[in-house]
Amino acid sequence: MKFLDKYLTLWIFAAMALGVALGALTEVEAYLDTEPGRVHPGLALGLIAMMLPPLAKVNLRELPKVFARTKLLTTSLLLNWAIGPLFMFALAWIFVRDQPAYFNGLILIGLARCIAMVVVWNDLACGNREYAAGLVGLNSLFQILFYAAYAGFFLNVIPAWLGMAEQSIHLDSGLVAESVLIYLGIPFALGQLLRWGSIRARGERWFTEVLAPRISPVTLFALLGTIVLMFSLKGDQVLALPWDVLRLAVPLAIYFAGMFAFTFWLAKRQGADYPTTAALSFTSAGNNFELAIAVSIASFGLGSGEAFAGVIGPLIEVPALILLVGVALRARRRFVA
């Protein structure tokens, strides 16, 4: 796997290109076009497989330490549920306020705080796995409770204050809860069951030194397969609307880089060590594109501009976060706790 790890960025771009080509040259989209609010089973399976190995490595006994550092915990909540959504709203207002569908799509991405792939990025960057898992758990709870209300406020209320066309968008809170259950709950439960069973049978050292390294490659292979499926969803539109892709790519790139850099600086300033800083940074910079895409399709339809923006989200997020993994690892060598 060293060869795959070394050229991971190249493989990810190749997977993206393959997905776009499949979407543009084949009828694969017809197989992904499930009923509203549903994600194709193959895509869901890939996401679950991608998440299982890093979540199996989470030691639940370490989680209380996450909640003991209240200052950093408060910082994470503010970044994820105040600064992040407002920053994305500002970028959407600057770049695409004349395109309501794209505006809506960007807002839905900004409100969908990361509960899945952040574990992968954090793991690749050698961040604190338990801290990331704890923050992901909090984000999951907040999404179940507040995502629908947040979306209504940012899509219906604030735009009206700013003179944009009035909208009436209602989101199903059950859809949010289902997404959290599928993309976090299932792999977390399976991962912890695998961890518990293997430690009980062979001991913790065997799990850490033998089993964990053996299952780790599953994450990367599942990640590449998921990217191919995901990008095939709108491959034809990506090629047909390059200007639209660019208009969405610019604010998204600014968002990911800005949130990561600001969080990294802030956490370091607050005295966090590198693993904790990495976990905080990737948690605030990443987004739950699975939820954003599902909500966009359910609320506006598969062929909508909102769904198109939802797919462009990971088109930019995946390479951006991979590059930020490299930035974080370089910063780690010079990090002063």
Query: How confident is the prediction along the chain (337 residues), in pLDDT tens digits per residue?
Result: 455 666 666 787 788 788 888 877 877 666 665 555 555 677 678 778 877 887 787 777 766 766 776 778 888 889 999 999 999 999 999 999 889 889 999 999 998 887 667 877 888 898 988 888 788 777 777 877 788 788 888 888 888 888 776 566 666 666 666 766 776 678 888 988 999 999 999 998 898 889 988 888 887 788 788 778 777 776 676 777 778 889 999 999 999 999 999 999 999 888 889 999 999 999 999 887 767 776 776 677 666 788 788 878 877 888 898 889 989 988 887 765 4
Question: 9-333: what CATH class?
Answer: mainly alpha
Distance CA 273, CA 136 (A): 19
The distance from CA 42 to its chain's CA centroid, rounded to whole angstroms, is 18
Task: Show Cβ contacts of residue 1 under 8 Å, excluding neighbours closer than 6 positions.
Answer: 216, 217, 220
pTM: 0.76
- C-beta atoms surrounding 13 within 10 Å: 14
Distance CA 282, CA 117 (A): 9
Q: Taking the CA atoms of 131, 336, 76 and 46 in sequence, report the sign of the dihedral they define.
A: negative
Would you say 322 and 8 are in contact if contact means Cβ atoms under 8 Å apart? yes
